[in-house]
Copies of this chain bind each other. A is one copy, B any other.
Amino acid sequence: MVVNVAIVGVGLVGSEFIRQILTTQSKRIAVVAVANSRQMLTSTTPLTTSWKDDLASSAAAKPFTLEGFTASLSASKASHPTVVVDCTSNETVAAYYPTWIEAGFHVVTPNKKAFSGDLALYKRIKELTSQAGSPLVYHESTVGAGLPVINTLNDLVNTGDKIVKIEGIFSGTLSYIFNNFSTLDTQAKPAKFSEVVTVAKELGYTEPDPRDDLNGMDVARKVIILGRLAGLDLTQETIQIENIVPESLRQADASEFMKNLPNFDTHFEQLNKEALQNGQVLRYVGLVDPVHGKSSVTLARYPASHPFASLKGSDNIIAFTTERFPSPLIIQGSGAGAAVTAFGIYSDILKIAERTRH
C-alpha cells in the first residue's frame, strides 16, 4: 500500500529527504504536500521534482496555516495511511502533534521539541500513541541523526532489559571541538581553544552563535529525550547542565563573544593539561543515569583506551550499558548533516509503511 507523506519545513533536511524519496522507492511513498512557514502546496497526485518551483509560485501554492495544511490531508486520508513529517525545529508545530495523531496521521520528525520540552505534551503524545491501532510517532533523527539510537533504546526497553547507563557525545559540534582540542595523539599540533572554536565556526559546524552549542542546551535536549524513553521524567530543571561559555561572556553580543574568547584560552588549556597529564582527554558528554538518578551534561575526562577518546571528526557516539550488555552496546558515526538526518526520517517512514501493510 502507498503511504502518503506531507512535509512541513523544507530547509536543508526537508529538501534532502524529498530528494531521497523521489530518487528511490517512489512506488511505496507519495509526497502529497509540502510547506514552509509562508506557503503550502498540496496535491491529489504525488509531487515531482518541480515541487520547489511550485511551492514558490503564487498560482500553485496557498498561504500556510497548520489548520489548512491538516484539512487538505484529511480529505485524502481515507484511502492511504498518511505521515506528517515535521522538518522544522519549531515549538508551535511540535505542539500540534496531538491534533495530527487524533486526526489519524502518523508523525515522523527530527524536531526535538516535543520530546524534550513540556513534559505534559510528551505524555499526551505517548498516551495517544499507546493504544493498539493508534498512529505511530517516530523520531530516530532527534538524537545522532540517522544513527540507530532511538530504535535500539526502544528495543532494549520494550524487551525488558534494564538500562544501567546511557552515555554519549551527542553534538557533532562539540565532538569536533574537543576531538581537536584534547588529544593524546602526539602527532597533532596543539591548538588554542578559541582557535578550534573559530575553525569549527568557519567550517559551518557551529550554530551562527557558537554559544548555542557551548551552553549545553542542545546536548541537554538529547539527554532528556533518551532519559524519557528509558522511563525517567527528565526536564531541563532536573538535570545538571555544565555551560562551558565563560560566565562573563554569556551576555555579550555574538561578535564580542568571539573577540573575547581568547582571554579564556589559558583556562581551557589548564583543564586540558590536567587531563592529558593523567593520560586522559576532555569530552563533552551527556549522561542518563537511572540508577543514581543523576542525569547530566558535563565536560568529563576519559582514558585513552575508552571509545570516546578515539572519536574522530564530528562523529557522535553513544554507549548503552544494560543488564544484558554489561560491556556496552556502542553506536558511532556521523550524527549531523542533511543526508544522514534525512536517512533517519526515511527509515522511520519505511517502518510505518511496513507496519501498515497488513
Contact = CB atoms under 8 A, between A and B. Distances in A.
Interface in A327-356: 327-334, 339-340, 343, 346-347, 350, 354-356
Contacts of A315: 327
A148 interface: yes
A148 B146 contact: no
Contacts of A326: 334
Interface in A142-200: 146-148, 151-152, 155-156, 158-161, 185
A24 interface: yes
Q: How large is the interface on A (under 10, 10 to 19, 20 to 34, 35 or more residues)?
A: 35 or more
Contact of A355 (B23, B185, B340, B354): B354
B310 A324 contact: no
Residue of A136, A340, A343 contacting most chain B CB atoms (<10 Å) = A343
A140 to B, nearest CB: 9
A322 B120 CA distance: 40
Interface in A1-40: 1, 20, 23-25
Contacts of A231: none
Contact of A350 (B147, B159, B307, B312): B159
A176 to B, nearest CB: 12
Contacts of A161: 343
Nearest to A81: B358
A327 B179 CA distance: 15
